[in-house]
Amino acid sequence: MADGSAAALVIGGARSGKSREALRLASLLRRRPVMIATARITDGEMAARIARHRAERGPEWLTVEEPIDLPGVLAAEAAPDRVVVVDCLTLWLSNLMLDARDPAIEARRLCSSIEAAAGPVILVANEVGLGIVPDNALARAFRDEAGWLNQAVAARAGMVLFMAAGLPMVLKRPASGPWSRYP
């Protein structure tokens, strides 16, 4: 599995059903589920979102909260008897940029972790480049970095799904491996 083909990327807009589909994919593999959550609680609304996501997952999920060292935690948690869901890459990127980390270096570290993962990994990301061009430099830099990160992860993933209105569209599916039988 240490070639990235056991990775899946679920991408789409806000409220498109990405997280729900990632959980469904994880359940199909019938392995011990691990959630790596990248969100930081910054206000009451974010706390409510996190609580809602935890309730949706249920108690069988191990949750690891890591806003910065996603590559390190992914390497530590991926195992043949587990399925790891990362939710989400976009918040992770935001955390990196707010902490003045180099997104390109961290993206390369993440891609290496995905390729070396000892078990299946499902990564969730927002597609932020479908709208208007942002009016400020930071927002444009974020949009660009998110696009490059999504491209790098998609290139390494065995399967890529695009979610729209709760419906998955298969953009990439391998001929063999855990995702080849995806409905």
Residues annotated as part of the active site: 53
Report the distance separating Cα 142 and Cα 84, nearest Å.
25
Report the distance separating Cα 8 and Cα 180, nearest Å.
11
Report the distance separating Cα 153 and Cα 110, nearest Å.
8
How many CB atoms lie under 10 A from the CB of residue 163? 22
Q: Which two tokens stand for residue 24?
A: 């469904």
Report the distance separating Cα 154 and Cα 159, nearest Å.
8
Tell me which residue of 152, 132, 163, 155 sits closest to 11, measured CA to CA. 163
Strands (E) in the chain, as ranges, are 7-12, 32-37, 62-65, 82-87, 121-126, 159-164, 167-172
